[in-house]
Chains A and B, each alone.
Chain A
Amino acid sequence: MKVECHQVENWLGLYADGVLGEHQSSMIRAHLGSCETCAVLLLELEFAIALCKEYPELDPPPQLIERVLERTIGQHRSLSWTEYLRELFRPLYASPRFATGACLAAISLSIVMNALGINLGEVRWSEITPQSVVDSLHRTANVAYDNGMRRLNGSKILYQIQSRIEELQGDDSQPQKRPQAESESRDRPRESSATEHRLAVRTLDPQCGQVLEGATAPQAGVL
């Protein structure tokens, strides 16, 4: 079903909030794809919401609490400093946003500490010196470099590239030997497979071993 601009306007503010159902949202999406005016309006609307979100939160003047107390209970502040600070910042640290931020910060810190090879359970304050931090960083960098190089050297693709280069070098220096080398490399697997076959037969059937050995002897001679 197609919708008109005025219908979209009735929903656009809620669409930006993501509170509309899937049916309405898909109709709006389809309309926005074809109507530039409404698409621009949505951008303006999102800009307005973003401005609201970044609107500064002001610190109330310190004497405001005193004035409120004076006007309500007729006395000055009697909370201790610790209680005062705890109550003052409670809405901040009790908010879900703060809790999420604190958790993310803790996770990031633990990842960084892990990467630096620092185990908090084993760390003593006396050991935390600039020199020890630098040494730890140096050690971590070396270990990371070694691991990286080992993986690089052990990678299959490197072997393939290396063998290809050797092949190419071989082509340049001894082009006349190539057919012979190729025939050798073709024969080698056949030889080994035939040998393996004989060994396997002997192992499986020791009684028929001699007969089989005799039967296979000419083959071995051919090979």
Chain B
Amino acid sequence: MTDVDAEIIEQARRGDPLAWEKIVTRHTRRVYNLCFRFVGRVDQAEDLTQDIFVKVFRNIESFKAESGQFVTWLMSVGRNLLIDYYRQSKDDRMTVSVTSEEDDERSILDSVPASEPSALAEMEREERSVLLRRALDRLAPQLREAVILRDLEELSYEDIERILKVPEGTVKSRINRGRLELARSLQKLRLRTREI
């Protein structure tokens, strides 16, 4: 953490609204993308981003600069909230009847923000994103968060250890299993798409 970051965080802890505003402005994009990668819907990602910042604001006193970077701590808080959210929504999902593949696909497509479908490459990229989203949704939560943190957030193994609060061996095992399951899931989805 740089001196500037440490100073701003210290000011925010003392209750300086301008310092807090700087923190929010600086980290909103990252938190928002983390949420979107976990839940796959922009409206939910927005709500969750707000919830995470509210939680960070209330608990900023508990952040210890010597235990790691602020961003890692922020992601850790975010991850805990996202896991809570997942547990709640899982109960909701259990009551929902199984939807058809077409409905599933449509809902995912709706969740991705509309963009200019001018180029074929852009369309293909979006298709791949949808495919990945569906494959990620099929992973077990522990494996999914490991893959998201490593391959989408591109965090180091050490940072993931700190965020998940598990030993290095567990992190590596989850990343390995998560990647393998993701690869197999993508393979199946691609084959099914070709059949259609």
Contact = CB atoms under 8 A, between A and B. Distances in A.
Interface of A: 9-14, 16-17, 19, 41, 44-45, 47-49, 51-61, 64-65, 67-69, 71-73, 75, 77-79, 83-84, 87-88, 90-91
Chain B: number of interface residues, binned into ranges? 35 or more
26 contacts: A13-B176, A13-B177, A47-B183, A49-B179, A51-B128, A55-B37, A56-B125, A57-B33, A58-B36, A58-B113, A60-B28, A60-B29, A60-B33, A60-B49, A64-B46, A65-B24, A67-B46, A72-B24, A73-B17, A73-B20, A77-B21, A78-B17, A79-B21, A84-B25, A90-B26, A91-B29
Interface of B: 17-18, 20-22, 24-30, 32-33, 36-37, 42, 45-46, 49-50, 53-54, 57, 113, 125, 128-129, 131-132, 135, 147, 151-152, 154, 157, 172, 175-180, 182-184, 186-187
Contacts of A60: 28-29, 32-33, 46, 49
Given A56-B129, A73-B57, 4 more contacts: A53-B151, A53-B154, A68-B53, A69-B21
A45 B183 contact: yes
A73 B24 CA distance: 11
A31 to B, nearest CB: 15
A59 B176 CA distance: 30
A183 B32 CA distance: 91
Q: Secondary structure of the B side of the interface? A: helix
Contacts of A61: 46
Contact of B152 (A52, A65, A69, A87): A52
Contacts of B21: 69, 73, 77-79
